[in-house]
Amino acid sequence: MIFTKLNAKGKWLLNRFNIPRQTIALGLLFGILVVVFLAGRALFVPRSFGLYGHYRGDAIKDNESLAIQFAGSTACADCHADIFDLKAGSFHANVACEVCHGAAADHIADPGKMKQSAPRERGLCPLCHNYNPARPTGFPQIITDRHNPGKPCMKCHNPHDPKPPSVPAGCNECHRAIANQLAVSPHAALDCTICHDVPETHKISPRQNRPGKPNNNNFCGRCHAKPADTSTNAPPAAELIPTHRVEIKTHAGRYLCWECHYPHHPEAGP
């Protein structure tokens, strides 16, 4: 039926414009395909597509409306003000509650139903405080295996106001990495205070009361100058260093000694 109709139309066109009939049939077929394609596009492209760019505009809302798990650093203050204030003045001031206690959005929505975890065992603290050479110098670290093995951290440290249980006796209690290096270096025999003058308050609030450091090459020269100045203020270890003496004025040029040599583990060789 359709074909005969098409044929009739085709014949008319054929006569009118001298177009072969097979192209008419094909043209119609392709026309139908194009119409189907365009209709499909009009029907199935999501409404919000192209609103802001080449994407479904509603996808932004989809992303925005996902559920929150972590309530945020200030969410706990309303109910736990005492702990919050204590922590705010401590070394852990910048550590959010949820770092240790876990995501709290559910707890805030219904405090009775969801309880936060409060880790009391030894496992959590070493995640940050176990010694790792890749950690930045100065970050408080312990060697977990040797630091009061088996004892929960909380026995000695309050996580909301962490500090050593007693005033540290020696430098190596906090500066373990340096102490370890120093112990195997040619400077092993030197006491820290030979080079650093340490205010007593440094042990209680270390950041506010920083220890002093040598500030010129002559300080090193007290042991390493050629000839060594043994007359004045020479430390007791001076005679133990027969080698590594240099002309202090010229050896370093315009550099300071510790710009090339690391005093806690001075390099052997030239």
Residue type, 126: P
Site string for other proteins, 81-120 (x = CB under 8 A): -----------x-xxx-xx--xx-----------------
Nearer to other proteins, 143 or 167 (CB): 143
Query: Per CB under 8 A, which region of 43-51, 156-164, 168-176, 208-216 contacts other proteins?
Result: 43-51
269 belongs to the binding site for other proteins (CB under 8 A):
no
Query: Binder to other proteins among 77, 83, 108, 128 (CB under 8 A)?
Result: 128
Residue range at the interface with other proteins (CB under 8 A); choices 23-31, 167-175, 231-239, 256-264: 23-31
Options 50, 111, 170, 212; binder of other proteins; rule CB under 8 A: 50
256 binds other proteins (CB under 8 A): no
Considering only 19-27, 81-89, 187-195, 241-249, which stretch makes contact with other proteins by CB under 8 A? 19-27
CB 227, min distance to other proteins, A: 32
- Paired residues of 56 in beta bridges: 49
> Cβ closer to other proteins: 59 or 241?
59
How many other C-beta atoms are found inside a 10 Å radius of the C-beta of residue 119? Answer: 15
Contact residue for other proteins among 17, 110, 113, 134 (CB under 8 A): 134
Nearer to other proteins, 55 or 212 (CB): 55
Non-local (6+) Cβ contacts of 25 within 8 A are 6, 10
State phi, psi for 169 to the nearest 5 degrees: -75, -45
State the minimum distance, in angstroms, from the CB of residue 250 to other proteins: 29
Counting contacts by CB under 8 A, is residue 66 touching other proteins?
yes
Contact between residue 141 and residue 132 where contact means Cβ atoms under 8 Å apart: yes
Q: Does residue number 73 form part of the binding site for other proteins (CB under 8 A)? A: yes
CA neighbor of 263 nearest in space, from 198, 206, 181: 181
Residue with smaller CB distance to other proteins, 67 or 169: 67
**Cα(270)–Cα(257) distance, integer angstroms:** 13
Nearest-approach distance from CB 223 to other proteins, in angstroms: 23
Looking up tokens 């936060």, which residue turns up? 116
- Token representation of residue 69: 């798990």
Among 32, 35, 39, 60, binds other proteins (CB under 8 A): 60
Write out the binding residues for other proteins, residues 142-201 only, by CB under 8 A.
none
The site for other proteins (CB under 8 A) is made up of 2-4, 6-7, 10, 20-23, 25-26, 29-30, 33, 37, 40-41, 44-46, 49-50, 52-56, 59-60, 62-70, 72-73, 92, 94-96, 98-99, 102-103, 126-128, 130, 132-136, 139
